[in-house]
């Protein structure tokens, strides 16, 4: 008998809870039949269109929550405005419903190790069973920031805040959730560890979307808080773009590229290089340890950068500065079990 994925179970649970929440809000706010139909059907229809369009363009199915949620909200708002429905209340129901779904959706991500974080001082540890379904083997057994749990809790808090603070004023629950989530998502992207996501100029797709949604909130309901959030996110995005060279070597996409370079160097026995100019070669030592030699033509390269890369790539290692300027030796003992947090340096 085939086992049902926890991700799937929690996804359906989230959809069921979101539907119940929406139904309760329909009654509590005495919404018309037209308002209810738009709020109930516009978001899922928009979701299907976005997913199928993305699949047709990319050739593979790729579901990005922020993208589909924003599309669902905009679609519902446009449909409500065109039909003469209560646009503010429709958007309220859609935003709160999406937020309720996300509480369970991110728990599903947590269970199957997708949308995971980067190595940290504390957090969740994934093992071999998660590697078998696609989790990166290099981070198996290592503590990762539990970004999925943080996002789930943040979504629950924003839903509660939206209903508690904005119950009596149409549009306020949606405003609280959308603006608040833009801040949460922008910040969490800084510690996300999954790599197969679009990036441009050092920002992820979600980090570009967050300032846009914050600006939309400020234009919809201008006020000190909404304007402040929009300004802070735009300024933060500008800073990250300006200083992207300081971070790009340690981004998950480059780490996976370096992993492939390490595999090539091991397999072919020759020096391999990443697109950012980090070169790697390896040699087996007499005691069976492996000497990985790192160097780079990246403009920000330093021994500190080599140390940080070593910490992210190898759980058990010694770092030794090379005799040639800009080179570093990462001595790995493949007999050591992966997952220990201690890093030995020389």
181/336: higher pLDDT: 181
Do residues 225 and 296 share a domain? no
The pLDDT assigned to 337 comes to: 59
The pLDDT assigned to 345 comes to: 34
Q: Is residue 218 part of a domain?
A: yes
Do residues 78 and 220 share a domain? yes
Q: What does the pLDDT average to over 297-306?
A: 94
50/30: higher pLDDT: 30
The pLDDT assigned to 288 comes to: 87
Q: Is residue 193 part of a domain?
A: yes
Segment among 182-191, 220-229, 316-325 with least mean pLDDT: 316-325
The residue among 181, 215, 242 that closes a domain is: 242
Do residues 193 and 266 share a domain? no
Q: Is 250 left (phi over 0), alpha (psi -120 to 50) or beta?
A: alpha
The pLDDT assigned to 61 comes to: 61
Closest-CA residue to 98 (of 28, 31, 178): 178
Provide the pLDDT confidence category of residue 227 given band limits of 50, 70 and 90.
very high
The pLDDT assigned to 1 comes to: 45
Do residues 209 and 285 share a domain? no
Asked whether the predicted pLDDT for residue 89 surpasses 60, the reply is: yes
The pLDDT assigned to 211 comes to: 97
Q: What is the DSSP letter of 270?
A: S
Domain tally, the chain? 2
User: Rounded CA gap, 200 and 20, in Å?
Assistant: 38
The pLDDT assigned to 5 comes to: 82
User: Rounded CA gap, 140 and 243, in Å?
Assistant: 30
Q: Is 2 exposed, middle or buried (0-12, 13-18, 19+ CB in 10 A)?
A: exposed
Do residues 126 and 177 share a domain? yes
Do residues 30 and 158 share a domain? yes
Q: What does the pLDDT average to over 207-228?
A: 96
Task: Compute how many other C-beta atoms are within 10 angstroms of the C-beta atom of residue 22.
Answer: 21
Closest-CA residue to 63 (of 74, 73, 52, 79): 52
Do residues 209 and 302 share a domain? no
The pLDDT assigned to 325 comes to: 86
What helix, strand, coil percent values describe the chain, rounded to 5?
60, 10, 25
Q: Is residue 1 part of a domain?
A: no
CA distances from 223 to 90, 164, 230 (A): 21, 19, 11
Do residues 230 and 263 share a domain? no
The residue among 212, 242, 272 that closes a domain is: 242
Q: What does the pLDDT average to over 196-225?
A: 94
Q: Is residue 161 part of a domain?
A: yes
The pLDDT assigned to 331 comes to: 94
Do residues 286 and 149 share a domain? no
Do residues 227 and 287 share a domain? no
Segment among 41-55, 106-120, 184-198 with least mean pLDDT: 41-55
**This model's pTM is above 0.85:** yes
Do residues 19 and 160 share a domain? yes
Do residues 235 and 263 share a domain? no
The pLDDT assigned to 339 comes to: 47
User: Are the C-beta atoms of residues 213 and 178 closer than 8 Å to each other?
Assistant: yes
User: Rounded CA gap, 98 and 72, in Å?
Assistant: 9
Structure tokens at 215: 């600006």
Mean pLDDT, rounded, of the chain:
91
Q: Is residue 341 part of a domain?
A: no
pLDDT per residue over 59-77, tens digit each? 666 677 888 899 899 999 9
Q: Is residue 94 part of a domain?
A: yes
Half-sphere exposure of 96 toward its Cβ, with a 13 Å CA cutoff?
29
The residue among 185, 214, 242 that closes a domain is: 242
Closest-CA residue to 247 (of 257, 239, 258, 235): 239
The pLDDT assigned to 341 comes to: 37
Residue 299: which domain range? Answer: 250-332
pLDDT per residue over 230-287, tens digit each? 999 999 999 999 999 999 999 999 999 999 999 999 998 889 999 999 999 999 999 8
Asked whether the predicted pLDDT for residue 343 surpasses 70, the reply is: no
Q: Is residue 28 part of a domain?
A: yes
Q: Is residue 117 part of a domain?
A: yes
């Amino acid at each position: 008998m085939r086992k049902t994925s926890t991700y799937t179970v929690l996804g359906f649970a989230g959809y069921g809870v979101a539907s119940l929440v929406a139904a309760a809000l329909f009654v509590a706010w005495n919404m018309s039949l037209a308002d209810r139909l738009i709020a109930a059907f516009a978001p899922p229809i928009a979701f299907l269109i976005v997913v199928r369009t993305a699949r047709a363009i990319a050739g593979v199915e790729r579901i990005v929550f922020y993208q589909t949620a924003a599309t669902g909200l905009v679609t519902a708002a446009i449909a409500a405005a065109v039909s003469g429905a209560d646009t503010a209340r429709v958007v309220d129901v859609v935003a709160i419903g999406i937020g309720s779904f996300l509480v369970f959706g991110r728990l599903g991500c947590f269970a199957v190790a997708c949308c995971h974080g980067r190595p940290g001082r504390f957090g969740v540890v994934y093992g071999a069973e998660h590697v078998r379904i696609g989790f990166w083997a290099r981070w198996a057994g290592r503590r990762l920031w539990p970004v999925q749990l943080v996002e789930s809790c943040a979504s629950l808090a924003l839903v509660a805040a939206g209903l508690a603070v904005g119950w009596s004023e149409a549009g306020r629950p949606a405003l609280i959730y959308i603006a608040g989530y833009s801040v949460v998502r922008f910040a969490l992207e800084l510690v996300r560890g999954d790599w197969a996501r679009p990036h441009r100029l050092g920002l992820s797709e979600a980090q570009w979307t967050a300032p846009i949604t914050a600006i939309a909130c400020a234009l919809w309901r201008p006020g000190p808080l909404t304007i402040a959030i929009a300004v802070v996110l735009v300024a933060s995005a500008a800073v990250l773009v300006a200083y992207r060279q300081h971070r790009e070597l340690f981004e998950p996409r480059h780490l996976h590229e370096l992993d492939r370079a390490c595999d090539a160097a091991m397999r072919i026995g020759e020096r391999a290089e990443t697109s950012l100019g980090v070169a790697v070669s390896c040699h087996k030592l007499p005691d069976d340890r492996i000497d990985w030699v790192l160097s780079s033509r990246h403009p920000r390269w330093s021994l500190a950068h080599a140390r940080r890369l070593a910490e992210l790539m190898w759980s058990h290692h010694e770092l030794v500065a090379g005799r040639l300027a800009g080179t570093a030796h990462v001595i790995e003992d493949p007999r050591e079990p992966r997952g220990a947090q201690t890093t030995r340096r020389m």
